[in-house]
Structure 1
């Protein structure tokens, strides 16, 4: 079993410094399953909870987090996770 976890601060996501958002954290945490292929991969609860704390409903946060965790282009590519989350947040209105 492999677990890939990355913590991305909102300051990194939005380029904010010295604001309340700079203290917010999105915990990117994915279960990577026993195989190299993206088959059983899914978001861990702390990733979903981080998105909920940013204003997404639980359902939307689950879909967004799973889309990041199940993206084969992001497996073993932590440098791509930040830009992928920025794009996801920019494209998805908050609904929570």
Structure 2
């Protein structure tokens, strides 16, 4: 079953970004992930305002693939750099409809 990472990321420093993009791209692909969106073009249509510079959506083939990516020893230093240099929120969403009849 597919899972989706949905992230809201606002850099507080841009020092980490040049060293982050290429390794993250490689490691997402290594774990079967596919970027569906990485953009600063987004708008909030509902709820309390929650600003962020970037919205990112990644499709994963399974929950294990997403978790393995996050725990990959090659990714961990980049994750630490991203979280130290940004305000980030990451949600992992199961690709199913619990409300379908």
Larger Rg belongs to: 2
TM over 0.5: no
Tell me the TM-score normalized by structure 1. Answer: 0.32
Higher helix share: 1
Tell me the TM-score normalized by structure 2. Answer: 0.31
Higher strand share: 2
